Structure 1
């Protein structure tokens, strides 16, 4: 039940960003870069 709701939510997000695919892509990239910086800071 929870997995189905989660899948629907992901599907909704993909439909929402279908027109703004590049915006979504760059948001993922910046989030990934931010997490990498965060992990690098935590490591030291």
Structure 2
């Protein structure tokens, strides 16, 4: 049982990290490109 719970905690942690990383990409990439994205939007 403890092994399964540890795996579940690791899986949840990895998915949370992946979501945070994707949000950072969505926020940082448009800022780095700047005006090209503003023209598209």
Task: Please classify the TM superposition score into its range, dividing by the shorter chain length.
Answer: 0.5 to 0.7
Which structure 1 segments of 5+ residues have no match? 1-17
- Number of residues of Structure 1 aligned to a counterpart in Structure 2: 27
Which structure 2 segments of 5+ residues have no match? 28-41
Higher relative contact order structure (alpha carbons within 8 Å, sequence separation ≥ 6):
2
**Segments ≥4 residues shifted beyond 3 Å:** none
| Larger gyration radius, structure 1 or structure 2 | 2
TM-score normalised by the chain length of structure 1: 0.56
Task: Kindly indicate which of the two structures has a greater share of residues assigned to helix.
Answer: 2
TM-score normalised by the chain length of structure 2: 0.60
